[in-house]
Amino acid sequence: MKPINVTALALAASASSSAFATQYLTVEQAQQVMFPDATGFRDVSLQLTGEQMKQVEKLAGLPARSVAWRVFAAYKGDAQLGYVVLDDVIGKFELISYAVAVNPDASIKQIEILTYRESHGFEIKSPAWRKQFVGKTAAAGLSIGDGIASISGATLSCTHVTDGVRRIAAIAQVALKK
């Protein structure tokens, strides 16, 4: 008898408990889409100091939320083209991973959604539920479920993404600006 793949079962179960889920771009694809001229990307992830956190909060008018931020610098040869900052935000029942392209002068160049997931409501507050999706990519074998269909319904506000972008704009101003 063929052994049952427990990992695959667990993944299938978690995918079906998520009502709607779509993978748009992997981190690597987002880097290419936002900086098509780049020849390389370097991990320059940030650890904000207490003073920087305060400045970010003042500029954004929002809590800085995290000390650590995943950032890649985009290069064409030796010339730096800008940065890609990664973030995840949680709404009422949706978890959105997105990437923000930042110019060297700290202005926002582009925003791309990487993944979109919904829960039926209760799991969204659970760190375990969120952890299985945060930072994952299609290459990591995540099922996208009903991701090929388009959803119609009352407009779901994306205020938390807009706030997240405002926070990243402040972080860029404080910690990335050349």
Partner 1 sequence: MRRRAQPWLGTLVEITLADTPSEAAAALAFDAAFGAIAEVHRLMSYHDAASDVSKINQMAVGSAMQIHARTATVMRAALAMNAATDGLFDIACASRLVEWGYLPDAGLEHGRHHQLNHHERDRSALHIDEDGNIQKLAPTLIDLGGIAKGYAVDAAIDALQASGVAAACVNAGGDLRVYGETAFPIMIRDPRAPTQIGFRFDLKDAALATSGSYFSQKTVQGQLRSALVHGVDGSAVVNNISVTVQAPACMTADALTKLVLLSADPRHPLLQQFGATAFII
Q: Which residues bind partner 1 (CB under 8 A)?
A: 19-20, 22, 24-25, 33, 36, 92-93, 96, 98, 110-113, 116, 118-121, 146, 148-159, 161-162, 165
Q: Enter the tokens of residue 35.
A: 């900086």
Amino acid (1-letter code) at residue 136: K
Contact 44/72 with Cβ under 8 angstroms?
yes
Residue type, 146: D
CB closer to partner 1, 73 vs 161: 161
In terms of CB distance, is 64 or 89 closer to partner 1? Answer: 89
Residue 83 vs 116, nearer CB to partner 1:
116
Task: Give the β-pairing of 79-90 and 68-76.
Answer: antiparallel
Closer residue to partner 1 (CB): 20 or 75: 20
Least CB distance to partner 1 at residue 118 (A): 5
Q: To which H or E segment does residue 129 belong?
A: helix 127-131
Q: Is there a contact between 85 and 71 (Cβ–Cβ < 8 Å)?
A: yes
> d(Cα 99, Cα 31) in Å, to the nearest integer?
8
Least distance to partner 1 from the beta carbon of 1, Å? 35
- Least distance from partner 1 to the Cβ atom of residue 42, Å: 23
Residue 2 C-beta: closest distance to partner 1, Å:
32
